[in-house]
Amino acid sequence: MGPHGLFCQKVVPLPYTLTKTGDYYRLSRAIFREIRPNCDEPEKRGGEAFGVDMMQENDLVVVVYREKKYLKKLEKDKSFHGKGGILPLASAVGCPWGTRLGEYEVFRPTIEDIIMHGVRRETQIIFPKDAFFICSKLDLKCGSKVLEVGTGSGALTLLLSRVVGPDGRVVSIEKEERHHRNARKNVEKLAEFPNTELVNTDVNDFEGEGFDAAFVDLREPWLYLARIRTFLKGGAPTGFIVPTANQVSETLQALRQGFGDVEVMEIIFRRYKTLAARLRPEDRMIGHTGYLLFARKLEMVREMRVEGDFEEAAPDPDAENFTE
Ligand SMILES: C[S@@+](CC[C@H](N)C(=O)[O-])C[C@H]1O[C@@H](n2cnc3c(N)ncnc32)[C@H](O)[C@@H]1O
């Protein structure tokens, strides 16, 4: 681009050196004057004139500086102070979603940005690498009715709410009042759909039924399993996250009563440096978050003798590759 700012395919000479506070704001005003000469008010610049979706005052945005991200609201008199300089947030108002302003890139936040950079954390949260996988194992879709046991900070709640959509329902139980209050603030501020009910109660005192799926993030899930089972539809996928291997063993023991299709897994996630010429993994990674367990509610268990002649099963050619 050289010494020009490119905006909506219009080249505008840069009259400013972008070093001081307010430079970006003045620059954006200069650009807009060029595009809409008679309109100095950001709200009236209107992206519709260019067929482009524009950022508006009070929109939630993610500001990206190198590998760092910050969730911000485009408030009139506020600035973002970061390593890339001072960015008056109003300077993004009227720009298309996905704009580079000086050293910063400004985008519409993804659900991952919201969870990682918007949620006020009072508890350990479930990270996106686990959370997105959990949604697929619970077979969540638009309209699902899902139960979450252990709201914590509401990080997973936000994703559940997004995945089940406006016709779905999330009910999330939290026994600690302070966590419940914090999660409620997070959900009120950040959730997209009004489909979530946060309940401040111990799971032992909760009453409910007909859930399509459940996710349990408690330290001792095996103590509550029999009760949680009563809230679920037959066959409902149910997930658990626990940080240690002995908690996995306890949960597995408990799942023998009334659950089938049991699986245990862990998700290892590694990021790469984005240097095209020297592509390699990041030096540091999060080595462990938690073990995931999944199972499905058995509605009925009927003991029966299966009659008939069976041929002896052929040996599995791959069997030697597996160890029990
Ligand atoms: C690790 S946090 C959950 C974090 C959450 N998954 C997130 O992503 O933000 C576990 C929560 O379970 C809650 N909890 C523990 N025992 C409970 C019980 N019996 N009934 C309801 N909530 C419980 C704790 O107070 C804690 O806030």
Ranges assigned E (strand) in 166-278: 169-174, 196-200, 213-216, 237-242, 259-265
What does the pLDDT read at residue 72? Answer: 97
State pLDDT tens for residues 217-243.
999 999 999 999 999 999 999 999 999
| Ligand 1 center to 150 CA (angstroms) | 3
- Residue 255 to residue 139: CA distance in whole angstroms: 19
| Ligand 1 center to 175 CA (angstroms) | 7
State pLDDT tens for residues 112-155.
999 999 999 999 999 999 999 999 999 999 999 999 999 999 99
What does the pLDDT read at residue 179? Answer: 98
What does the pLDDT read at residue 307? Answer: 79
> Hey, what amino acid is at 168?
G
What does the pLDDT read at residue 106? Answer: 98
Contact 232, 238 (CB under 8 A): yes
What does the pLDDT read at residue 183? Answer: 98
Half-sphere exposure of 91 (CA within 13 A, CB side): 24
Q: What is the DSSP letter of 306?
A: P
Substitution site in 159, 176, 180, 207 for ligand 1 pocket (most atoms within 8 Å of beta carbon): 176
What does the pLDDT read at residue 315? Answer: 65
What does the pLDDT read at residue 233? Answer: 98
The two tokens of residue 173 are 């139980």
Ranges of residues in the chain with a pLDDT under 70 are 1-51, 310-324
The sign of the dihedral angle between the CA atoms of 49, 51, 55, 56 is: positive
Contact 106, 61 (CB under 8 A): yes
What does the pLDDT read at residue 137? Answer: 98
| Ligand 1 center to 180 CA (angstroms) | 9
What does the pLDDT read at residue 16? Answer: 42
Question: What CA–CA distances, in Å, run from 206 to 2, 155, 218, 227?
Answer: 63, 21, 15, 9
User: Looking at ligand 1, which residue's alpha carbon is closest to its atom 2?
Assistant: 152
What does the pLDDT read at residue 44? Answer: 43
What does the pLDDT read at residue 221? Answer: 98
Give per-residue burial for 286-295: e unless 16+ CB within 10 Å, then b: eeebbbbbbb
| Ligand 1 center to 149 CA (angstroms) | 7
Give me the sheet containing 60-65, strands edge to edge: 68-73, 60-65, 104-107, 99-101
What does the pLDDT read at residue 305? Answer: 84
- Identify the residues whose C-beta falls under 6 Å from ligand 1: 123-126, 150, 152-156, 173-176, 179, 202-203, 217-218
User: Looking at ligand 1, which residue's alpha carbon is closest to its atom 13?
Assistant: 150
Torsion-angle region of 235 (φ positive above 0: left; ψ -120 to 50: alpha; else: beta)? left
| Ligand 1 center to 40 CA (angstroms) | 50
What domains can you pick out in the chain, each with its CATH number?
4-109 (3.10.330.20), 114-297 (3.40.50.150)
What does the pLDDT read at residue 318? Answer: 56
